[in-house]
Each structure stands twice: as structure tokens, then as C-alpha cells.
A = this chain, B = another copy of it.
Amino acid sequence: QTLTTGQYDLVSYAIAGACFALFAYFLHSWRSASEVGVRYRPAVLAGMCIAGVATASYVVLVIRWDTGFTLSDGVYVPGEPARATLYPRYTDWTVTVPLLTAELLAVCSLAGARARRTRFTTMAAAFLMIVTGFLGSQVVAQGRSTSGLVVWGVISSVFYLYLYLALVGAVRASRSSMSPEAFTSLRNASIVLLGTFGVYPLVYAVPVFVDVTPSWFVGMQLAYSAADVLAKVGFGVLIHKVAKLRTAEDV
């Protein structure tokens, strides 16, 4: 499948833009972690680790995109490295999605054994959700088998559902232990995170319903890049705000 120069440049732009946004957020969280009290520091450190890993992952993606196509007769023709411009994203998510749930929980106010159990089960569910999604989207028949996509997609969705409910429950349970202002930011953060969570299964399901034309492929790349920035940077900025507010309240 060939891309027009417009399509190719648009994706180059989106991938490199996401990479820069993540890098900026990485630098910010590196230098601002100390503004947050020790108690909520794990949230900011999780955000920093997420941004570091995601930046590295996007650097690889940019290189693959760059080397993966050759311009001939005015169109971009994909070569071998172009195979690997969707699935490396799963590698990133395998590490970052469990960390995103840890980041959210680190500013909620579950305590003791309940906090440990929720953290462990949600991180495990996030990990398994991505691994099973990866099997469907890439390993089984290179993601070209509709039944493979559906079966693994359904298994992955079970973990998704658990994760969703557990995180909503944790946020709800935290309402009484912080100021309304901090809780509003926490609620916004969880809306951003769980809202962007909806984008990924939709993109995953594209090949089930339509034939993946170049336009669809470009759309998938743009959707993933935008959702990654929102879920990591947008969410992270809101969590940082909650952590700072709660630090001030605890004094």
C-alpha cells in the first residue's frame, strides 16, 4: 500500500509532534517532582517514567517511519520497517498503561491493604489487557484474521472492563478525603484517562469492519498519536495539579 506525500507527511508530523510533547512533559516532571510532597511523589515519578518510556518509543517510531518508506514516482512505497509502525506502540503501552493506573491511584486515598490490592490488580489487568490485545492485533495471522481479532479483543475487553470499574471505584471513594478543588481535578484527570481509553479499542476494531485503505491507516496513526499525548501529558498535568493541591492541604 502506497501513501501520497500528503498522507506520509501528515503522519510524520503527528508522530514527531507526539514525541516532542512527551519529551517536554518528561523534562517538566523530572524537574518539578520535588515540588510535590513525599506522599504524592510516586504519582509524579510514575508520570516521569511514563513520559521517558513513551518518548523513547516515539523516537523509534519516527525512525521506522523515516526509513520504512521510499519515495518513487511521487508516492511513498512501504518497505520492511514499515511493518513495524503500529505494533511497537503495544510495547510502550505494556509498560505505560500499568504505570498510568499507578499514577492515578497514587493521588487517590485508598489506604493500607485495600490500596495495595487495588494497585496490584489494576496494574495486572492493564498489563494483560495490552498483551492479549497485542496477540490479536499482530501475532495471530499478522492481525489479518477477523476471528483472531475478535476473540482476543473480547478477552482484552474483559480486563478493560475490570480496570474501568476498579478505577472509577477508587476515584469515587476518594471524594471525602480531599478538598472539592482537588477532587474536581482528580475527576477531570480520570475522565481524560478513561475517555482516551475508549479510542484504542475503536482503532483496534477498524480492520474488523473495513478494509484498511491508506486513508484508514493514516487515520489510525493520527488517532493513536493524539490519544497517547492526551492520556499521558493531559492526564499527567491534571494529576500533577491534584498532587500539588493535596500536598498543600496536608500541611
Contacts and interface: CB of A to CB of B under 8 A. Distances in A.
Interface of A: 5-6, 9-10, 12-13, 16-17, 20-21, 23-25, 27-28, 30-33, 35, 38, 41, 45, 48-50, 52-53, 56-57, 70-71, 80, 83-84, 87-88, 90-92, 94-96, 99, 134, 138-142
**Interface of chain A, main secondary structure:** helix
A91 B53 contact: no
24 contacts: A6-B138, A9-B139, A10-B139, A12-B84, A12-B91, A13-B87, A13-B91, A13-B134, A16-B88, A17-B91, A17-B95, A20-B56, A20-B91, A20-B96, A23-B53, A24-B49, A24-B52, A27-B48, A27-B49, A27-B52, A30-B31, A70-B80, A71-B80, A71-B83
B140 A6 contact: yes
Contacts of A90: 13
A28 B6 contact: no
Given A9-B139, A95-B17, A53 B71 contact: no
A16 B138 CA distance: 15
Contacts of A53: 20, 23-24
A95 B56 CA distance: 17
B48 A99 contact: no
A13 B138 CA distance: 10
A23 B80 contact: no
A11 to B, nearest CB: 11
A182 to B, nearest CB: 15
